[in-house]
Amino acid sequence: MSGIIRQVIDLIKSKFAGTVEGTIKDKNGEPIENAVVMINNKRTYTNQKGEYEIEVESGTYDIEVSSFEHLPSKKAVAVERFSAKFVNFELEESDGKVIRNWNDLNKIRDYLDEKFTIVKDLDEETKGYSTYFGTEDTDSENATIKRWEPIGDSRDSFTGEIHGNQKEVEGLIINRSGEENVGLFAVNDGEIRNLRVKGASVTGLGGQTNGTGIISGVNTGTIYNVDVEGNVTGAKINTGGVVGRNDGQIDEVHFIGSIDGIKRVGGIVGQNYGRIVNVESENNITADDGVAGGIVGYNRGEVKGGNIDTTINSGDGKVGGVIGENKNGEIAELDVDVSTLTI
C-alpha cells in the first residue's frame, strides 16, 4: 500500500473518530504524571495534572491504565464519532513498584531494596525491548549488540522482592562473556518468586565465588516457584541453568534447556553451598573439564527432593546424574533419569 493511499485512509478514519479524555489520580486525589493510557493499541501519557486525551475511531474499547507505583486498572468505553468521552481513573497504590515493560524492569537497579510486582508479560513486542536487546547500526560492518546489564553486583546486591505474579519474561539475551557475575541479576540477596522466564540466552565468565545463570550469577537470597527455559554458557567455572553459585535457598524451581561450561556445571546450579529443594530439570549439559551434575556440579550444601532428566557430556571425571562432586553435602529424595552420561 502506497504512502499516499495510507494517508487518505487515515484522513477518512479521522473524520469518523471521537476522543477519550480524563484525569488519572491516586486515592488521595493527587494527579499521577506519566501514567500509561492504552486504547485500541494506541498509547499516550498523562501530563503533570494527570490529564490525558487520545483519539480513536468509533467503537467499544477497553481503556488500560498503569503507573510505576500503582496497580493497573481497566474500564470499557463506547466511543461515538465527533464526540468526546470523559473517563477518569483513581489508581490504588501498589505494595511496592509495578513492572509493565522492559524499562520498568531495568529500573530495579535504582531501587535495589524495594518490592516489585510484574503485572504484564514481557516479550519482544513489549515497550523497551529494542533499548536493551538487538543490534545497533545493523547495516554497518561495525554493528554492536545491545547487552542487558545484570542488576546489582557483589558490593551492592539486590535485597528487595520480586513478585512475578505468574507472568512471563521472554527473550532475555545477556552476552557478557568477560564478566564474572552474569544473569538477569548479578547477585540476588532478596526474594524472587512466582516468575516465568522463557527463551533466555545467557553467556558469562564465572569464577570461584561468582557464576553464570539465567536468573542470577550468585544467589544468597531466596528463589521460589520459578520456571526457567533457555540456554546458558559459562567461560570458566560455576555455570548453572538457574544460578551459577548458590549460597541461599532455591525451592520449587523448574529448568528446561542446555548448559555449556568448563567446570562445576549443573542443571540448576553450578556450585552449591546453600539449600536446593523440590526442583525439576530437563537439561543437556556439556562440561569440558568435568564436575557436572543434573542438579548441581559441585555441592557442599543440601539437595533434597527433585526430578531430573539429564544428558551430560564431559571431558573429564566427576560426573553424576544429580551431583558431579559432593563434599560433605546432604542429598536425599531424588528421582533421576540419566539419558546419556559421556566422559
What are 36's three cell numbers? 500509561
Q: pLDDT class for 194, splitting at 50, 70, 90?
A: very high
* pLDDT greater than 70 at residue 7: no
* pLDDT greater than 50 at residue 337: yes
CB neighbour class for 53 (10 Å; exposed up to 12, middle 13-18, buried from 19): middle
User: Beta strands 17-26 and 84-86: pairing type?
Assistant: parallel
Q: What mean pLDDT comes out for the span 259-275?
A: 97
pTM: predicted TM-score of the whole model, two decimal places:
0.81
293-297, 318-322, 328-332: which is most confident: 293-297
Q: What mean pLDDT comes out for the span 127-138?
A: 76
The chain-wide mean pLDDT, for the chain, equals 89
Q: pLDDT class for 5, splitting at 50, 70, 90?
A: low
Q: pLDDT class for 14, splitting at 50, 70, 90?
A: very low
Q: pLDDT class for 9, splitting at 50, 70, 90?
A: very low
* pLDDT greater than 60 at residue 124: yes
State how far the alpha carbon of 54 is from the alpha carbons of 6, 42, 74, 241, 289, in Å.
20, 8, 16, 45, 60
Alpha carbon distance 116, 135 (integer Å): 29
Q: What mean pLDDT comes out for the span 312-327?
A: 87
Higher-confidence position of 201 and 5: 201
* pLDDT greater than 90 at residue 118: yes
- How many residues belong to the chain? 343
Q: pLDDT class for 11, splitting at 50, 70, 90?
A: very low
